[in-house]
Every structure is written in C-alpha cells, then in structure tokens.
Structure 1
Amino acid sequence: MKLWTWKRENLPSLSHAFRTALAATISILLGRLVGLPEAYWAAIATVVVMQSPLGDTVPLAIERIVASALGASIGAIESTYFGPNLFVFALATLLLGLISFVLRLEKVGYSYACITLAIIVMIPRAETPWIAAAHRFAEVSLGILVALAVVAVWREERRLFENTTAK
C-alpha cells in the first residue's frame, strides 16, 4: 500500500533545485545588504513561491504580498493593544478569514496572512510591533520579488505535449 502518490511533473528537477537554491541565496544576500534583521524570512518566502505552478506564479505572488500586508497589519494592531493573548489571536485569525473572503483571497493568501500574524504576535521581540511587522512584510515581499525575478529570467523547459520530440 502506498502512503502517497506523485506526478512526474511535480517532481523537482536538477534545474529546479539549482534555481531554487540560487533564488533563496540571492534573497538572503539582498536582505542582509539592505539591513533586514531576519533575512531568512526572505529565503523562506522565495522557496515557497518557487514551488508554485508556472502559470500561477505571478497571481499567487501578488496574493501573498497582499496577504502578508494584512497579516502584518492585524498582527501589529493585536500586539500593540493585547500582546500575545491566545483568545485575541484566535479572533484575529477569524478576522483575517473574513477579510480574505471579502477580498476574494484564496486559501494560499489566507494561510500567508495567518502565518504572518502568528510571527508578529507570538514571537517575543525587543522592537515595537509595528517595526517587527514592517520588517516581516519587507522580508517576505523581498523573497517573493526575488522568486518572480528568477522565474522570469530562468524559465524551466516545459513541453506542450508529454513524450513528444521534434522531427
């Protein structure tokens, strides 16, 4: 009995692995260059975006940036007025779901907003919540933009029809 199934087109190729490694490294380097305190969030965002299906990369990237802004904003408000209160965190997560529904963000965007919210609210920090939120938004947005740039410059070869060759 198999515990999982797989599709050939979803397996990472050597080229995809190199592209992802390059993009994640560029994200960290740029994050450090501009002085972002936790540049690894840029690399994490890059890796996530690099796994998107080719045709969905740009729309999902835009949705993730919008969702990160929402999660960071709600997280900063919650942290400023309530701190890491689990009841308020649950309400904020619900609020993000309602906002995502109104804005027609898909589950991918909603999950990004919730992840950003959790990072802002639940991780103790020395800086004010608004500074932490701005840093997270900048780091994640940088990672998404680097992924888009690498995907635009270094396209993966895809055949229109499987198992065909030119004659």
Structure 2
Amino acid sequence: MSRHLPSHAGNEKGELPSLEDAVRTAVAATASFFVAYLAQMPEAYWATIATLVVMQSTLGATLTLSIGRMVATALGAVCGAVEAIYFGANLIAFTVAVFVMGLCSIALRLEKTAYRYAGITLAVVVLIPHAHSPWMTALHRFIEVSIGILVALVVAALWPEREQGALATSNSDNAKKQET
C-alpha cells in the first residue's frame, strides 16, 4: 500500500509541505480567526480562508501578492456593494461587474491571483444574502480578508519558511557527522 503513497523524494522544488509548514499554517489560520473574532467580524472564517491562501507563498512573494490581494478585495467589495444596491443579485449585472473588475485589474496591473480575490469578494457580497446593508457587508468582507492577509504576513515575517533543499542538506550533513 505504501508504494501508492507519494514520497518526499524528489521534493527538490519544495512543492510538498513539511511538518513545519503544517504547524506554521495551523498557527496562522487559528490566529487570524481569533483576531477577526475579537474584532467582532460577523464571518471571521473569511480571515482564516485568506490566511490559508497567503501562507502558501514565500515571504517575498507573499508581500508583493498581498498588496495586490488587498487592493483587489477592496475593488470587489466596492463593485459588489454598488451592484447589490442598484441591481441586486442580477446575473447579467454580476457578469458585467466581473468583466469590469477584470478591466480594472488590467489597468491596475493586478496579478491573476488578485483578480480572483476581487471576483470572490464580489460574489460573496452580491450572491449570498446578508442581514446588513451592501456597504456594511462589503466593509466586513474587506476587513475580514485584510485581517487574514495581515496575520499571514506577520507569521511569515516572524517565522520564515526554510528552504526544503537546505533543510535536507543540513540533515544529511548532521547524519554524516554522527557516523564519524
């Protein structure tokens, strides 16, 4: 049976998570939920979802992408609130809004990942019924996602990811020293 399970051999690119990655991500996800809960966000789980996405990148990439993700979240929140106020959950208006956000993302030179954040935020604000006004829902979504992104950045800065190749070399060197 074990021959069918993926091996960590051949993980030179660092594509497989390590035990440390799992712990870092779990700590960050829990911390972001806790911060959003303390901030009394109505759907604090969005902070956790944002953290889980951001934690998959290295710190250098995370910082650059995170700025774009926050801008795109704001774009999606504003477009969502405007659409919800003037058109409700109209599918044609939603389609046009997604397209317009794409044009805005091109103009702002946002990466595709950021554009996805804008689209998800738009969909959450417009397509899911909420008890609050569209502007309040949009603001909540922006704050929740921003908390998630910021917590992930803090965790990545305080607890940087180690290179998997460097870790494997270090472990190999330690094993050789113990043999002699």
Q: TM-score, normalised by structure 2?
A: 0.85
Q: What residue is the counterpart of 1:3 in the other structure?
A: none
Following superposition, which runs of at least 4 residues in structure 1 exceed 2 angstroms of deviation?
159-167
Secondary structure of the corresponding residue to residue 65 of structure 2: helix
Question: Which runs of no fewer than 5 residues in structure 2 stay unpaired?
Answer: 1-7
After superposition, the CA RMSD in angstroms is: 1.8
Q: Distance in 2 between matches of 1:155 and 1:70?
A: 30
Match of 2:93 among 76, 88, 95: 88
Q: What residue is the counterpart of 1:72 in the other structure?
A: 77
Q: Distance in 2 between matches of 1:163 and 1:24?
A: 27
Question: Which runs of no fewer than 5 residues in structure 1 stay unpaired?
Answer: 1-5
Q: What residue is the counterpart of 2:134 in the other structure?
A: 129
Q: Distance in 2 between matches of 1:113 and 1:21?
A: 25
Q: Distance in 2 between matches of 1:48 and 1:28?
A: 14
Q: Distance in 2 between matches of 1:46 and 1:54?
A: 13
Q: What residue is the counterpart of 2:22 in the other structure?
A: 17
Q: TM-score, normalised by structure 1?
A: 0.91
Shift of 1:54: 3.8
Identical amino acids, percent of aligned pairs: 55
Shift of 1:158: 1.6
Amino acid at match of 1:59: T
Q: Distance in 2 between matches of 1:121 and 1:31?
A: 22
Kindly tell me: are residues 77 and 140 of structure 1, through their superposed partners in 2, closer, same or farther at Cα, counting changes over 3 Å?
Answer: same
Shift of 1:146: 0.1
Q: 5 Å matches for 1:1-167?
A: 8=11, 9-158=14-163, 164-165=169-170
Larger Rg: 2
